[in-house]
Structure 1
Amino acid sequence: MPHALHIGPHAIAPRVLLAPMAGVTDKPFRVLCKRLGAGLCASEMTTSDPRFWNTSKSRHRMDHVGEPAPVSVQIAGTVPSIMADAARHNVDHGAQIIDINMGCPAKKVCNAWAGSALMRDEMLVAQILAAVVQAVDVPVTLKIRTGWDHDQRNGLAIARIAQDCGITALAVHGRTRDQQYTGVAEYDTIAAIKAQLAIPVIANGDIDSPQKAAWVLARTGCDAVMVGRAAQGRPWIFREIAAYLADGTVLAPPSLAEVRDILLGHLEQLHGFYGEPAGVRIARKHLGWYAKDRPENTAFRAVVNRAETAHAQLQLTRDYFDALIADAPRLPAVA
């Protein structure tokens, strides 16, 4: 099994990637996940519509200053020429890999015929992919689902189109669009797609542990795995998966002190990136994710959600963890 994933000139190691997630994989989170072992971290989905490029949201999504290379930016849209322009625009602003979204199941995206809705129109898929590949000199990757619905599992057909159009790597989420995130990921479908392609294929869906990552790689024959929801509040999952894939090492869970320091560092980056009050507001969901698997989840959230300023949010979080550390012998380890 290869020890690196190659996307154009970029060697991606370790073979575990952060999935692009709107509202989650902003620059502070990408940089954190990269530091904790992710081989590649794609940006949140950015619009291809130039009318929205100068909004606060888009400016933050297109900010890659200081981000570890290679910088991967995901774009979404439905018009080939506009998608090509968006790819050029993002390359001009630091993108070293362009990723095309045909996997997002969100209704507001699919109602605009973007995201996974594009899988219903294979001719349009080919036109978009060809236009973007021809527009830029950087590698272009694609993220898809296994199909639109139970009766339209055309992931393999889309995958072949992608390869023919010059896509350099393909990520497959093992569900149809109508499944959203329910049910169980279809690893056999991903395996069938991988078996028919020469380009690298990345398996995505329900990968939530080092053991599951290794099992999915073996089951599908894929070149890498992609982790999404399981990284929310648990960014150290990347180093855990990387160590297990390298030599079977099972890393100990992070200590309370390390979780505290990771969390405080993440909060400081969010505050610095978004300013107040947006940084404080955005940080709350991350605080909730960090706490979700802990027995004192409700109490922790009640404390930190009181914070209205960056200083108060940091202080309450620090005080809460320091109190836990003082009582640590009587508490279970972090999950």
Structure 2
Amino acid sequence: MKNLIFILNLFLMYAPLNAQEKVMENRNKVVLITLDGLRWQELFTGADPKLIANKEYVSDTTSLKAMFWKNTAQSRREVLFPFIWNKIEGEGEIHGNRNFGSKVDLTNHMWFSYPGYNEILTGKADDENIRSNDKIYNPNMTILEKLNRTEQYSGKVAAFASWDVFPYIINDKRSGIPVNAGFDSAKGKDLTVIEQFLNKTLPHTPSPWGSVRLDMFTHNYALEYMKRKHPDIVYISYGETDDFAHGGNYQAYLKSAHSTDEFLRELWDYTQADPYYRNKTTFIVTTDHGRGTEPLDTWKSHGSKVDGAGEVWLMLYGAGVEPLGEVKEKEQLYTTHIVNKIYNILD
């Protein structure tokens, strides 16, 4: 009899927990991803003919053309972004090809990173308070923080970024959201073998930049955390494309963009293999700002004085996304719309 009572007590203790876990597993999840400063021109037309053979920006034009040059824009973009154009296009929606009149724009007038990320994450530009990339805690509340404050998503939100300003953009102190950014290592006692390896190698892997780590670390820290903690709301910000562009290294810019396409594929494959995420996860991918095109050297730059730096793009795929493919009609979207799209997904 005592054994029976003990078993019943265990059942009563764990039954609500199991039911709660089931609810959490069945609800919708969102993975929001940004590719810092990736131009819409490369996304939709592939390697730029004026840049790929330009020795000012490419150290080995022969090898780069062997990797990414094709005679048509469609073939060039497919070889640069194979996952996007062979998978996402068929199952999701891709906006921002201005050649067809599909426009996605910023509403802030700064046209650089902190204002762009603030706009994406809060749904509103703030040109009065967000006017630099300085490490100033964001006075605005992001959607990540708002969700983390709800009973439903409390403790189920996480962010990973290559740029070390993100703890300030997300305001980790006020929001309570774990933000692994810059040269942060993974924290916790239950780290995976890969997280432990990343922690060991990060301090001994020089980055070309003082405030941005290589995206390989950001990507794998995010992926391993998802495997270990199963957050419902994940934000990942890759940073290499912007920094390689600022350095005028078109070769590294293209290779980094190509690597990020592989990161997207790996995240997709994982979420489709894990029952917690499979068929319940929506991906939203965008960028914080554009870059220049004319004069040619403005491809390295952005900001309010650079024509075209406010032109961006947007992709959605996964659970609940209509397979519109590449939108080839006139439309006007803004990155401020992303917050509402997330709320609609989670509704």
The answer, yes or no, to whether TM exceeds 0.5 is: no
Task: Specify the structure having the higher radius of gyration (Cα).
Answer: 2
TM-score, normalised with respect to structure 2: 0.28
